[in-house]
Structure 1
Amino acid sequence: WIIIAFSNDHNHVMVRPRSVSYMDTISVYDILEREWKRLMNEYNLEENEWLQGLYKIRESWIPIYNRSTFFVGMNTTQRSESINSFVNASTTLQEFVLKLEKVVDSRLEVERKKDYESRHKSSILTTGSKLEEHGASIYTRNMFSKFQDELEKINKFTQKDRPRYVYQVSNNFEAQHKFIVDIDLTTKITHFNCQLYEFLGMFCRHILVIFQAKGVVQIPSHFIFQHWTKDANKGIDISFTRNNFDGQSNTSKILRRMHAQQEENMLIDLVEESKKIYKFIVMEINRVHTLAMIMKTESFTDDRVTPLEPIQNNENQVFLIK
C-alpha cells in the first residue's frame, strides 16, 4: 500500500484509480504497459532489479488489476490508514482492548446516525428520472450520492446498438475511449467492462445510459447490493449475540451496549408497522426508563442486577426481568 500511496501522490503518468472507470479496461492495460516501458527507457532503469521485481508483481499493487475484485470501493491505503489511526506497532495489548471498545462504540454511534438520516431525510433529486427516484428510495444517502453522480454523467455518452443486445458506449468528448455493455433486456442481466459494479457494488454510467435509452425505470433487484441500502441493518439476526451474551459483571461495557442497541433497533423497526405498536413500545420504554433510573439512584451494582433472560412467547422472543 506504500507503493500505491507514493504513486497517487507523485505519479502523473500512470493511470490513477479514479480514472479507471472512465476508460476501456483493455486500453488502460495498454497505456500502463506503454508508459512503464517509456519510463524505464527514459531513465535507464531497464536493469534495475527492484523496479523489475515490482513490475513482475504489478497485479498486487496496481489498482486496475483488481477492478474485478469487490473491495467496497476502498483501496489498501484506506484500509491501512483506518487501522493505523488508533493502533500501531507500539500499542500494548491493554491499550488495544481499551481503544477497541472506544472505536467500536464510536463507529456504532456514527452508523446509527447515518441510518437515521438515510431513513428520515430526503435526498435532493437533480435529473428528474425514474431511475434517480428509485435509487433515492433504496440507497443510503452516501451511496445515493455516488449513484447520482454516475447518473448525471450519462448525458456525456452515446449508445450504439450492436448484435445480441451488445452496446458500445463512448464519451462524446473522448470518443477514443469505448466501453462494451452486454445486456439482456428481458432478464436485465448485464456485463460491462469498466468493472465499477464488481469493484464497488454500484452501477456505472455506461449501463445507466443504456437503461435510460431503453426505458428501464428501476434498478434490477438482483443488482441491488443489500449492504448499500437503507434497510441494510433491518431484520439482522441477533441470535448469536443473544446466545453468547451472559450479562454478567465481567462482560465489557461495550458488549452490553452493543447488545442493548441491537434490541433497541428491533423495536425501532417494529414501530413503523402500526400506530398501536408504536404507542405500546413508547409506553414500555418510558416505564423501563423510569425503573432503570430508580435502580441507578439506589446504587444497584451489576452483580445485584438479575440478567435479562429470553423467554418464548408466540414465537417471538421477549425479555423480562426476573
Structure 2
Amino acid sequence: MLRTYVPPGSAMYVFVKQFNKLLYDRDVEESFQEKRTRLGGVVCKVGEPMENHAAKIYMRTMFEKFQDSMYKIGSYYADKVVPGEMYVTTHFDCESREKWCKVQYKVSGSGGYYTCECGMYEHMGMLCCHVLKVLVHLRFKLTVDARDVLPMHLVHYQKDQGLMTSFSFRHSQLYLNCMEVGCKC
C-alpha cells in the first residue's frame, strides 16, 4: 500500500509527506463509506438473525463481504466431531471440485470463541463462511460487542479504544509536534 504513495529511495521528508497523504486518503475513504452506509442503508438478503445484527454493526462494504460469507454457508455441511468444541465443515459438492481445492475445514471452539483453520478471522477480523456455518448450525446469535473480540493485531479498532490510543492520532500529533520544532529552528 505504501509503495503506491512513496517512491523507492525517497528522502525522509517525502516519506512523511506521502505517509500523511495516505492517512488522509484512508480517512476520506472511511468517511465516504460511513456516509454511504448511513444514506443508502443496507439490504438483508439471507434473513438470518446474524445478518440482521451484522447490518447494524458493519459499514456497507464490510456488510456486503459478510453477506457473501453468509451466502457461501449454503454450500457447506457442518458435522460435529466433539460437540461444542470441534466441527468439520464439508463442501456439499466436494467430488466435482478440483483436487487442489480444499473441501473440508476444521472449526474449533471454546467459551463461545470459534476459529477456523482457514485463518480468515485472524487475518481480516471477519468470520469466514465455515465458522458462520457452525454458528448458524448451533443457532448462535452475534452479540452487540462481537466486533470487540478481535485478534491482538486489530485490537486498536475496538470501540472502547479511544481516539487518543489510535495509531493515526498518535502519528498525526507526532507529525504536528515535529513540524512545530522544525519551524522554530
Q: Same fold (TM over 0.5)?
A: yes
- 1:172 maps to 92
Deviation at 1:222, TM superposition (A): 5.1
- Say how many residue pairs are matched: 164
- 2:124 maps to 200
- 1:282 maps to none
Query: In structure 2, do the counterparts of structure 1 residues 162 and 86 end up closer, same or farther at CA, with 3 Å as the change threshold?
Result: closer
- 1:217 maps to 141
- 2:98 maps to none
Runs of 5+ consecutive residues of structure 1 not aligned to the other structure:
1-81, 253-322
- 1:191 maps to 115
- 2:33 maps to 114
Q: 1:105 aligns with which of 24, 27, 30?
A: 24
RMSD: 3.6
Matching of residues 102-181 of structure 1 within 5 Å: 102-165=21-84, 166-174=86-94, 177-181=103-107
Q: Is the 8 A contact 1:159 1:167 kept in 2?
A: yes
Query: In structure 2, do the counterparts of structure 1 residues 225 and 117 end up closer, same or farther at CA, with 3 Å as the change threshold?
Result: farther
Instruction: Give the secondary structure class of the aligned counterpart of 2:83.
Output: helix
- 2:164 maps to 237
| Structure 2: distance between partners of 1:220 and 1:192 | 22
Deviation at 1:142, TM superposition (A): 2.1
Q: Is the 8 A contact 1:131 1:219 kept in 2?
A: no
Q: Is the 8 A contact 1:188 1:220 kept in 2?
A: no
- 1:4 maps to none
**Could you say which structure has the larger radius of gyration?**
1
- 2:99 maps to none
Q: Structure 2 counterpart of 1:139, which letter?
A: Y
Deviation at 1:235, TM superposition (A): 4.6
| Structure 1: distance between partners of 2:14 and 2:80 | 61
Runs of 5+ consecutive residues of structure 2 not aligned to the other structure:
96-101
Q: Structure 2 counterpart of 1:210, which letter?
A: V
Q: Structure 1 counterpart of 2:92, which letter?
A: N
Instruction: Give the secondary structure class of the aligned counterpart of 2:32.
Output: helix
Q: Residue by residue, what CA displacement relative to the aligned partner does 1:238-275 show, whole Å, maximum 9, x if unpaired?
A: 7976xx68x89x649xxxxxxxxxxxxxxxxxxxxxxx
Q: Structure 1 counterpart of 2:91, which letter?
A: N
Deviation at 1:101, TM superposition (A): 4.0
Deviation at 1:97, TM superposition (A): 4.2
Q: Is the 8 A contact 1:181 1:206 kept in 2?
A: yes
Deviation at 1:94, TM superposition (A): 4.2
Q: Is the 8 A contact 1:135 1:219 kept in 2?
A: no
